[in-house]
Amino acid sequence: MTGMERARKHSSKRDAILRVIQSTVSHPGAQWVYERLKSAIPDLSLGTVYRNIKLFQEERQVISVGVVNGEERFDGQTAPHPHFVCSGCGKIIDLPCPEDEAVRGMAAAVQQDFVIDYRKTVFYGLCGECTEEPTRLVP
């Protein structure tokens, strides 16, 4: 193990950033992570958060869900599962991922010619809160 690897392993800032991302289902962006940790780690910079998230992605400890409302959002749950992104409010929701025959068949067919590193399925639309019509009071 090199000195750099040892430093990564024992960085309290790095550990805190990963812990925050993995402890929420809100699929946060770097700014959200920074705001959650800033009071506990006063010398934390937004740049440090971004650099560590990039490292976590390279190590496959965190995945990118995609850009929502101009900000890249992340998930600490790296097992393959689909997401739903609300195009109204920007909420990202994990969806259950039953391994059905169609997915297994497609994966088997594709694997004959390619090496699959990961898969990503994202559905877009409006969540229940954004589709609700406001209740109008009758005078």
Judged against a pLDDT cut of 50, whether residue 7 lies above it is answered with no
Judged against a pLDDT cut of 50, whether residue 130 lies above it is answered with yes
What pLDDT, on the 0 to 100 scale, is given for residue 9? 57
Judged against a pLDDT cut of 70, whether residue 93 lies above it is answered with yes
Lowest mean pLDDT of 30-39, 55-64, 75-84, 103-112, name the range: 103-112
d(CA 76, CA 78): 6
Question: Which of 27, 36, 116, 38 is CA-nearest to residue 78?
Answer: 27
